[in-house]
A and B are shown apart, each in its own frame.
Chain A
Amino acid sequence: MSHKKDIYSKTIPFALMVAVTILIGTIVTTIAPMFTKGMHPKLENLQPYTMLELAGRDIYQKEGCVNCHTQTVRPLKADVLRYGDYSKAGEFAYDRPFLWGSKRTGPDLARIGGKYPDEWHIQHMENPQAFFPKSNMPKYPWLKERAINVNEMKARMDALGFPYTEEDVAQAAESTELDAMVAYLQIIGTAVEKEGAMVIEEDSVEDENPLAGNAAALEEGKALYAAECAGCHGVNAEGNIGGSLVDYAAAEPASRDTYLVIANGYEGVMPGFASSFSKERIWALVEYIESLGK
């Protein structure tokens, strides 16, 4: 093929044309939106991170947590059932960078704040397998041994323009990296009012366990307990973060009350499982728990 002297023979015009071609999409999809309101929403009760929370967020970045955990609930039925209300654009105004992630090797954390008590996170970071025996999450025992570097944190707060008081500094000074991580996890997603995806009304539950005396249900309840509940209530159900279920069962509570506690939980103390466990599974757990008192 013969070549006339075209753009492919002229370096500078060619390079300029390439640059312009690349910049069109860049400007429309990335630069121009920066100047629209839609990209900078902020919920009214969203607060900047405190020094301790920011320290925790920095550790979250340092340990590469974003490799396995997302922080955005999609507006899809199953996502909302599993994690809670879908993520709002206005929740992330102080997030530099965003930590939405791209992979859920572990569960989404957008609504982790307030889901469990602090002690749950403290023990879980130390040994995730104590809560979920087959979990693949690494243990993070070194966090509790490290103090927060306050001077470093001051510089970081200043860079972000986040306000802090002497009390904040004093609090950070006597905290470990683990405390910081817990403080961060507990604040995530709390600018949005918590709405239980499913709340079970009392009168929708049978008085008596329909699976009472069912040996297969008892076995299922036992297995489910070991996989999902033993972390908080103890391998022998004698209590840890949560109370002793042996003692609980000995008091012979009404089956329906036990069902409702499992289904709805207690705000900030125990998560509800109505959306994660089927009715049969909850009744199987009730059957197992009642067997502990016998």
Chain B
Amino acid sequence: MNEYSYDYRTVQGFILSAIFWGVIGLVIGLLISVQMWDANFNFGEYFSFGRLRTIHTNVLAYGLGIGAEFGIFYYLTIRLTKRNLVLGKLARFHLWLFNVGMVLATFTLFIGMNQSLEYAEFEWPIDIAIVILWVIFTIVILTNIFKRKEEHMYVSLWYIIATLIAVAILYIVNNLHIPATLTKSYHLFAGTNSANVEWWYGHNAVGFLFTTPILAMFYYFLPKATGLPLYSHRLSIISFWSLIFAYLWTGAHHLVYTPLPDWIQTLGIVFTLFLIAPSWGSVINGYFTVDADWSKMRTNYLTKFFVLGITFYGLQTIQGPSQGIRVISSLIHYTDWVPGHVHMGTMGWVTMIICASVYVIIPHIYKTEIFSEKVANIHFWLVLVGQLMFSITMWVTGIQQGAMWKMTNADGSLKYTFMETLVGNYPYWQMRTVAGVIFVVGMLFFVYNVFMTIRKGMAKAALADAKAA
């Protein structure tokens, strides 16, 4: 099959949509970071922290993260099944529905339709729309996989299939709600049970929206971008199965020291510790792939994105399990340590790999080179510095906060009032805002680079057309 006939328009549509939603989510992130240290930056009902924080997480998770995954999965599917999307028109419809859905979903969060389940805030009409979107996505991908022109399924396709199945189960079960009216519903599960279902979902949303899809990209684009073959097929098999097996047991580490039965907490903690193994399976596979030729770090501008991305994944998957251990949880749970942890994953791993993948895809679609490697390098260093500064300040303040909450006087009373522990965060939260600005500026360099590459590609195509005519 002549690859020149592949149709990547829907892929590009999703990537541009993801960029659009990403910029909105990042700007809102900056605003709420300021609200954390100065309440005067809450502007009325619609722009108060409680509404905006929910919008920040959802727009970035669903708009940027999943939007990019839709596009990049379509790209991977086309490449790895060696044919155009069989259901190309359905995929096109999927793209439009995604954007209309995102507008509606964001609107419902602004007006306060909020189920108050973290990462499952959308009310039931939006949930139904999301399930429809996911079913369409699954049908398009699986149809291509069934009709693939390549006998073997590459590692990335395994992760794609696991993502499709797991997210469907997770999303549907946790969003089982009793609808009262069009705008309001109640969780089918109550109290302790509600908590257990939510964090089984919540943790695996991280697993199957921010780990397996990103690994699908990593396993494809790292060898592609560097020209180095994957180090070990066998290691990728072991990592894959143990990862998707262990993940589902771990949600209860979010509920340490809550009224959830102890045995579920302990089981969650134990499996969380086990998860280090499969996570590091992929990390090692990545490192040893590049180990064939470390000079690629200098000669190929994309290599460092993948190496740093997988490094942060590695750190994330050491830090996460440590946090689950009871004694550590008792210090850092409920503090700013946790957002520090989350943002290392989202800013250091997820966004890093998505951006690197886009840097491969967009020039490939237009059969051209990236607009500017220099701009890509500036992007890289800014997001790296921004992310490190963000995470480290949050870890420091989280430990300080957790310790201040715990400290007691000789007479048995608490050493610090809550306000004193809160005010102690402000200087760190101000530094976090600065870190956020650095990161966002870095991301704007990325956006600029992508748009200029598209412009360059279109000009080149127009020239070729003119010559042909």
Measuring CB to CB, which residues of chain A are less than 8 angstroms from any residue of chain B? 1, 3, 5, 8-9, 11, 14-15, 18-19, 21-26, 28-30, 33-34, 36, 38-41, 58, 60-68, 70, 72, 74-79, 81-82, 87-89, 91-107, 128-129, 132, 134-140, 142, 152, 155-156, 158-160, 198, 227-228, 274-279
Contacts of B44 in A (CB 8 A): 142
Given A23-B169, A104-B334: A96 in contact with B178 (beta carbons within 8 A): yes
**In the complex, per-residue mask of B245-282: 1 if CB is within 8 Å of any chain A CB, else 0:** 11111111011011111001001100100000000000
Residue of B nearest to A277 (CB): B413
| Closest Cβ–Cβ distance, residue A219 to chain B (whole Å) | 16
Least distance between A44 CB and chain B CB atoms (Å): 15
Q: With A97-B186, A105-B36 in contact, is A67–B165 under 8 Å at CB?
A: no
Contacts A/B (CB < 8 Å), 11 sampled:
A21-B245, A39-B193, A61-B115, A66-B118, A89-B259, A97-B194, A98-B198, A105-B422, A132-B419, A134-B423, A138-B42
Given the interface contacts A28-B249, A58-B184, does A11 sit within 8 Å of B408 by beta carbon? Answer: no
CB neighbours of A158 from chain B (8 A): 180
Given the contacts A3-B152, A102-B118, A102-B334, A139 and B42 also touching, CB distance less than 8 Å = yes
Contact of A95 with B190 at beta-carbon distance under 8 Å, contacts A23-B169, A33-B196, A33-B261 already known: yes
Does B338 sit at the interface, judged by CB under 8 A? Answer: yes
| Per-position binary interface string of chain B over residues 32-43, scored 1 when its CB falls under 8 Å from any chain A CB and 0 otherwise | 000111110010
B153 — which chain A residues lie within 8 A by C-beta?
8-9, 11, 14
CB contact between B184 and one of A3, A22, A24, A152 (< 8 Å): that residue: A152
Known A26-B248, A98-B192: A82·B115 in contact at CB below 8 Å: no
Chain B 103-141 near chain A by CB (<8 Å), digits 1 or 0: 000000000111111100000000000000000000000
- Interchain CB contact under 8 A, B200 and A29: yes
Question: Nearest CB to that of B49 among chain A residues?
Answer: A138
Known: A30-B251, A88-B259. A152 touches B181 (CB 8 A): yes
CB distance from A83 to the nearest CB of B (A): 9
Q: State A97–B175 Cα separation when bound (angstroms).
A: 11
B423–A29 touching, CB < 8 Å: no
Cross-chain contact A89 with B414 (CB below 8 angstroms): no
Query: Within 8 Å CB of A63, what residues of B?
Result: 48, 50-51, 112
A19 and B180 within 8 A (CB): no
A77–B408 CB distance below 8 A: yes
Within 8 A of A (CB), among B215-258: 233, 241, 244-252, 254-255, 257-258
Asked if B271 and A92 make an inter-chain contact with CB atoms under 8 angstroms apart, the answer reads no
Q: Are B151 and A67 in contact (CB under 8 A)?
A: no
Does B296 reach chain A (CB closer than 8 Å)? Answer: no
- Chain A residues, Cβ within 8 Å of B152: 3, 8-9
Whether the Cβ atoms of A159 and B254 lie closer than 8 Å is: no
Question: Contacts of B412 on A, CB cut-off 8 Å?
Answer: 81, 198, 275
B259 touches A155 (CB 8 A): no
How many inter-chain residue pairs (CB < 8 Å) link A and B? 275
Whether A134 pairs with B181 at a CB distance below 8 angstroms is no
Report the separation of the CA atoms of residues A282 and B73 in the bound assembly, to the nearest whole angstrom.
63
Minimum C-beta distance from A76 to chain B (A)? 6
A139 CA to B47 CA in the complex, in Å? 11
Residue-wise interface mask of B (151-181) relative to A, using a CB-CB cutoff of 8 A (1 in contact, 0 not): 1110000100110011001000100001111
Out of A21, A30, A70, A132, which one reaches B197, CB within 8 Å?
Answer: A30
Chain B residues with CB under 8 A of A129: 39
B39–A227 touching, CB < 8 Å: no
A8 to B418 Cα, complex, angstroms: 55
Is A82 within 8 A of B405, CB to CB? yes
Name the residue among A8, A93, A138, A279 with the largest chain B CB count within 10 angstroms: A138
In the complex, the answer to whether B51 meets A22 with C-beta atoms within 8 Å is: no
Please give me the 7 A-B residue pairs with the lowest Cβ-Cβ distance, nearest first: A64-B50, A25-B248, A92-B191, A159-B180, A89-B259, A62-B112, A138-B42
How distant is A128 from chain B, measured CB to nearest CB, in Å? Answer: 7
Can you name the residue of chain B whose Cβ is closest to the Cβ of A70? B334
Q: Give chain B residues whose Cβ lies under 8 Å from the Cβ of A107.
A: 418
Q: How far is the CB of B88 from chain A (nearest CB, A)?
A: 20
Would A30 and B158 be within 8 Å (CB), given that A63-B48, A138-B39 are in contact? Answer: no
Q: Judge whether A139 and B39 touch: CB under 8 Å.
A: yes
Nearest-Cβ distance from residue A277 to partner chain B, whole angstroms = 6
Partner of B38, one of A8, A39, A136: A136
Chain B residues whose CB sits within 8 angstroms of the CB of A128 once the complex forms: 39
Q: Are B257 and A78 in contact (CB under 8 A)?
A: no
Seen from chain B, the residues whose Cβ lies within 8 Å of a Cβ on chain A are 35-39, 42, 44-45, 48-51, 53-54, 112-118, 142, 145-146, 151-153, 158, 161-162, 165-166, 169, 173, 178-181, 184-198, 200, 233, 241, 244-252, 254-255, 257-261, 264, 267-268, 271, 330, 333-335, 338-339, 405-409, 411-415, 417-419, 422-423, 426
A135 and B192 in contact, given A63-B50, A97-B115 (Cβ under 8 angstroms): no
Which residues of B sit under 8 angstroms from A160, Cβ to Cβ? 178, 180, 186
Give CA–CA (A291, B36) in the complex, Å. Answer: 36
Q: Which residues of B contact A101 (CB under 8 A)?
A: 334
Whether A29 pairs with B49 at a CB distance below 8 angstroms is no
Q: How far is A227 from B162 in the complex, measured between Cα atoms in Å?
A: 53
Determine if B192 and A41 form an interchain contact, defined as CB atoms under 8 angstroms apart. yes
Instruction: Please report the C-alpha to C-alpha distance between residue A63 and residue B241 in the assembled complex, in whole angstroms.
Output: 41
- For A60, give the chain B residue with the smallest CB separation: B116
Contact A22–B151 (Cβ < 8 Å): no
Closest Cβ of chain B to A41, distance in Å, is 7
For B247, the chain A residues whose CB sits under 8 A away are 22, 25
Q: How far is the CA of A4 from the CA of B87 in the complex (A)?
A: 29
Taking CB atoms, residues of chain B closer than 8 Å to A103 are 334, 338-339
With a cutoff of 8 Å between Cβ atoms, the chain A residues found around residue B181 in the complex are 152, 155-156
Hey, which chain A residues are within 8 Å of B268, CB to CB? Answer: 29
Contacts of B50 in A (CB 8 A): 63-65, 67-68, 138
A87 to B115, CA, bound (A): 22
Tell which of B178, B192, B413, B418 touches A278, judged by Cβ atoms closer than 8 Å. B413
Task: Please indicate the chain B residues that have their CB under 8 angstroms from the CB of A25 in the complex.
Answer: 245-250, 271
Among A75, A97, A103, max chain B CB count under 10 A is at: A97
In whole Å, how far is A268's beta carbon from the nearest beta carbon of chain B? 21
A40 near B193 with CB under 8 A, answer: yes
Chain B nearest Cβ from A154, distance in angstroms: 9
Q: Is A97's CB under 8 angstroms from B198's CB?
A: yes
**Contact status of A64 and B413, CB under 8 A, knowing A9-B151, A22-B166, A138-B35:** no
Of B42, B192, B246, B407, the most chain A CB neighbours within 10 A belong to B192
Known interface pairs A21-B245, A70-B334, A134-B423. Does A34 touch B54 (Cβ–Cβ under 8 Å)?
A: no
